[in-house]
Structure 1
Amino acid sequence: MKRRHDEGVKADAGRNYRAYPTEDQDRVLTGWGHTARALWNVALEQRVYLWEQRRYTLRSVEQCKHLTAARAELDWMGDLPAQSGQQILRQLDHLLTTIAQIAKLTTRRANRRRDFTHKLTTDLAKNHGLIGIEDLRVKNMSKSAKGTAQAPGRNVRAKAGLNRSILDNTPGERRRQLEYKTRLYGSVLVAVPPFHTSQTCAACGLVDPESRKGCGRLFACAHCGHEDDADHNASVEIEARARRTGGLDINSTRSIPRVRVPAVGRRRMREAPTPVHAS
């Protein structure tokens, strides 16, 4: 009975081997490594040049022809096995294809973010007479925590994630759009100091770090016991600061008056006919 290949055979997850080349072999392998690096750099530079100058996409199939000519003219290039050089060019194809896919995804995400920001700021400027925002210093907030070699930073990975989150919300772009859209729609934009907005109770005004422990979503005032969603509590405090700054006589919300135009034709059809009186 013929046994299947995958029955009773233990799968080999792969093994790592360490080679001990001789001095001559080591010299040859080192030379191949330098040649492979030079081939990669030259092939990449050639593709970049043709794209920037002529908008022409060069692929490995065409570059392999150039490689064959180079191997015949250059001894150091001819020493590299032909299959290795062709594989390098194919890997360059794969790399550039992956970069192009990533670029498309990045562009799509940026377009979605831009579209959302425009819709959000337009809605705020049209439907609210007073808009309060925090006067954030985004550049300072998104500084890297890496530090230096003499004084390395702490929690670098967590700070990098926080920086990405801050920049992903585009606070600077939102403020820029609000500044010109509020002038366009006749509303008022007030930037307030951002200090302790997340630690200030919107009910009693007490500032206490104990009211917002950690990064939780719950705000619980340590003084009066007021509880609320942390973001909502901060937004109420920001609105109160905006009103104290100069927006007391402005309605925080408004709606654009909409005049309903009657359907004249349908209305006339429903009217009763006017009786005719004999003269």
Structure 2
Amino acid sequence: MTVKADMGRKYRAYPTPEQDENLTSWGHHARALWNLALEHRLMIGRKHDGVSWVWSAEQCLLLTELRNDPDESVNWIRDLPATAGQQVLRRLDEAFKNWANPNHRARRPLFKCRSSPVSIPFPGQKVRTRKLNRHWAEVYIPKLGWIRFRLSRALGGELRSCTLVRDGLGWHVSFGVHVGTTTTEPNGKPGCGVDFGVKVSAWVSTELSPRMMPPSLTTGEQRRLKVLERRKARQITYAKKHNGGRYSNRLRKTIARISAIRARQARRRLDFTHKLTTDLAKNHGFVGIEDLPVLNMVKSATGTAAEPGSGVRRKAALNQGIYDNTPGERRRQLNYKTLLYGSQLRPVPPHGTSQTCPECGERDARSRVGCGREFACVHCGHTDHADRTASIEIEARARRMGGTVIKSTRSVRKDARGRSTGTRLRAAPDADIA
């Protein structure tokens, strides 16, 4: 039985200048191999009308033939370590399997452009690590030697995979390790509902105030980013007019400075997301969230040339706010953290959560006053923040999903068919039996 990685570890790596040059070259070679293998698979699929595909087992044989070919045009394939090339093809297998899985949200595998993140994967059997002291360690990479990395935490398991990635701030090494995690027993704590938003990052139903994500960029960084973006646009225009589209060194420096700011922004965003999801999973018996179709929510409003869209700039700003709050990443983290801390993740239908009154249970669009964050029930007069109202309704739907025994202390109004139209039934925090 193959032992697979069940946890990830990421560290900051510090290669030497020579190693940095080789890793950058390998990253572009791995990207070219991905594109070549993807085009080959799509060609086979078109030839057989999508009935038959080619997988990594066949493509690894072709990769070996190319590496043995004396033609100088394939020197780049010989330069890339064979194990890294094989790992690229296996990852392409995973991308196609996720695309074919109806229960997975992945789309069709795409070609990688030059601006894509530089990444070189290796199987865990071909690398090894050694600890230098309390704060530093090294990883051995085939054809490259030992690379130092900052040992910010212990590996804590059996090494199964290794990936070197470069962003705007430098190189990082990510390890997939097997630690033998098992599902933890239910922690017995009360559950909650969480409403993720744009203006309000997260509102937990058991709290009276929202959790706001700190600005991911300072005022100075926002101003500097705007200057750099404008400079980049001017330099690209000049390159297209006078250099045949070739990027100058100044343009590359501008792009590198923008990447550094974006990478710093992504780190801050990820730090808040990890702290939020860890706290939710650790201190609650279940976490109810909205089952949001994020890909549909961030579709562009530009339209076509014949039928241009309306409110394009406003929709673009909304999309940027949605991406900045990373609802998909929060859900991904909650998926595995709830298993670690003995809680459950319960996605609920998102329709009308902020229009349902937590007091009388009536859902009415008129209860949302204007486009603001105020909720005022037109039936019972209850007022509250719209996001807190939504979080309470999310918790109620999550309880019903989990098989909660619901008890009510008040009578429930019913219509002519005997259906409840009034009070939303409440349950005690310890009444959940799922």
Q: Same fold (TM over 0.5)?
A: yes
Q: Does 1:237 align with 2:389?
A: no
Residue 222 and residue 184 in structure 1: after superposition, are their counterparts in 2 closer, same or farther (change >3 A)? Answer: same
Query: Hey, which of these two has a bigger chunk of helix by percent?
Result: 1
Q: What whole-Å deviation, never above 9, does each CA across 1:189-209 have from its counterpart, x for those lacking one?
A: 111000011111111121212
Provide the rounded CA distance (Å) in 2 between the counterparts of 1:149 and 1:215.
Answer: 30
Provide the rounded CA distance (Å) in 1 between the counterparts of 2:315 and 2:428.
Answer: 38
Q: CA deviation at 1:51?
A: 10
Q: When the two structures are superposed, what TM-score results if normalisation uses the length of structure 2?
A: 0.37
Q: Does 1:161 align with 2:307?
A: no
- The count of residues paired between Structure 1 and Structure 2 equals 174
- Identity score, percent: 61
Q: Does 1:227 align with 2:383?
A: yes
Q: 1:129 aligns with which of 285, 290, 295?
A: 285
Residue 251 and residue 169 in structure 1: after superposition, are their counterparts in 2 closer, same or farther (change >3 A)? Answer: farther
Q: Does 1:114 align with 2:267?
A: no
Q: Does 1:201 align with 2:357?
A: yes
Query: Hey, which of these two has a bigger chunk of strand by percent?
Result: 2
Residue 252 and residue 137 in structure 1: after superposition, are their counterparts in 2 closer, same or farther (change >3 A)? Answer: farther
The match for 2:402 is: 246
Provide the rounded CA distance (Å) in 2 between the counterparts of 1:115 and 1:124.
Answer: 14
Q: 1:152 aligns with which of 292, 302, 308?
A: 308
Moved over 3 A (4+): 49-55, 91-94, 249-253
Provide the rounded CA distance (Å) in 1 between the counterparts of 2:22 and 2:275.
Answer: 40
User: What amino acid is aligned across from residue 152 of structure 1 in structure 2?
Assistant: P
Residue 247 and residue 115 in structure 1: after superposition, are their counterparts in 2 closer, same or farther (change >3 A)? Answer: farther
Provide the rounded CA distance (Å) in 2 between the counterparts of 1:100 and 1:252.
Answer: 51
Provide the rounded CA distance (Å) in 1 between the counterparts of 2:365 and 2:335.
Answer: 32
5+ residue gaps, structure 1: 1-48, 56-87, 254-279
Q: What whole-Å deviation, never above 9, does each CA across 1:15-72 have from its counterpart, x for those lacking one?
A: xxxxxxxxxxxxxxxxxxxxxxxxxxxxxxxxxx9995499xxxxxxxxxxxxxxxxx
CA-atom RMSD, angstroms?
A: 2.9
The match for 2:335 is: 179
Aligned residues of 1:130 and 1:252 also touching (Cα < 8 A) = no
Q: When the two structures are superposed, what TM-score results if normalisation uses the length of structure 1?
A: 0.56
Aligned residues of 1:126 and 1:187 also touching (Cα < 8 A) = yes
Q: CA deviation at 1:129?
A: 0.5
5+ residue gaps, structure 2: 1-20, 28-241, 406-426
- The structure number with the bigger radius of gyration is 1
Provide the rounded CA distance (Å) in 2 between the counterparts of 1:131 and 1:217.
Answer: 23
User: What amino acid is aligned across from residue 172 of structure 1 in structure 2?
Assistant: G
Aligned residues of 1:135 and 1:194 also touching (Cα < 8 A) = yes
